[in-house]
Amino acid sequence: MQDLRLERRKLKRSKIRKKRLLYSVIFLIVIIIGIGIYLLLQTYNAANESYNELDRPGGKSELRNDTVTIGEDPISILLLGIENYSSGGKNGRADTQIVVTLNPDTNKMTMTSIPRDTRVNLPAEAVGREHAGFHKINAAYTYASLSGYGATKLTVETAENLLDIPIDEYAAVDFEGFRDIVNALGGVTIDIKKGFWEKNIYNNDKRIYFTEGTTKLSGEEALAFVRMRKRAVNNSYPRDERQRQFIKAAISEAISVGTIFRIGEITDILGKHVKTSLKPAEIYALEKEYSSIETAAIETFEIDGSNQRVNGVSYFIPTDQDLAKISKKLKQELGISAVKVQDD
């Protein structure tokens, strides 16, 4: 009889332990789901705040016959780094311009840097008569801001005209946002190919020294790394190359396992310092499609040309031959054989 009571007690305790274990598992699942929902909502709200539609007829480039579906069709995105710290956050310059192509069929990504001093012709209807004519390409953002035409709209159109390809979307980040995002990632590891120094705009222009070799850069260091352009080292380690190198390294950092735990910090930055024509659902589609992309397989293109003085102003003049060659390569990546102009 006593043995029977003991057996019943053991069975009861076993059931209680199983229930507690089940409740604990359910509780953990609820917490995980809750955190996931919170992060998704937080990311969605931040991405929604960053959304800034390009004002284009039909919602597409004039060089497209049909609209593209993000995550399903090959697309191009213009990445812009906006220098607005010296102008108090207004009417800055698009000092960094990189055209990215993404092809879901080949899971391939390319990056093409457009030098900030590239000579382009800005139309009067976009910048007004007083600013119409030839300028450096980074000025398109400034003058279109002043005229009310639309800074990103003209910048996208100018890149389209230069490369003779459709630019489907854009993403722009200012210097402060760039610094804060790198810090939120916990820094970005870079293999520095040649030593140099650059001023720290956030610390009274004190010098930041970069030595050859692999190192992890903070936000302020990373900004100095991609900005430096005036000293002799630029001939052997050019600014455009460093920018493409940094983006590759940042992609690797962003898709690392630990990044998800910093998403709260990153989303706080997005709405304040990032503007993009990509909707939250489209950003999610891109993340889903390309989150496993191998950064070693990212192909980079560099525009050949020369620095020349025209009417007393120093410009970068691309060669027509190289522009045509790069345009052809990018069209292949976008799955188009020729420029597609919408019929009247």
Longest dimension (CA), the chain: 109
Q: Would you give the DSSP letter of residue 258?
A: G
The stretch 112-132 carries a mean pLDDT of 93
Model pLDDT, residue 112 = 93
- Residue from 147, 151, 152 nearest 132 by CA: 147
Q: How confident is the model at residue 304 (pLDDT cuts 50, 70, 90)?
A: very high
10 Å CB burial of residue 270 (0-12, 13-18, 19+) is buried
Helix (H, G, I), strand (E, B) or coil at 192: strand
Q: Residue written as tokens 């579906």? A: 69
Helix (H) or strand (E) holding 337: none
Kindly give, in sequence order, each residue whose CB lies less than 8 Å from that of residue 320, ignoring residues fewer than 6 positions away: none
pLDDT digits (tens, 9 = 90+) for 156-190: 999 999 999 999 999 888 888 888 888 888 888 99
Q: Could you tell me the two tokens for 324?
A: 């045509």
pLDDT of residue 37 exceeding 60: no
Q: Would you give the DSSP letter of residue 216?
A: E
Task: Kindly list the structural domains of the chain, giving each domain's residue range(s) and its CATH number in brackets, ordered by start.
Answer: 51-333 (3.40.630.190)
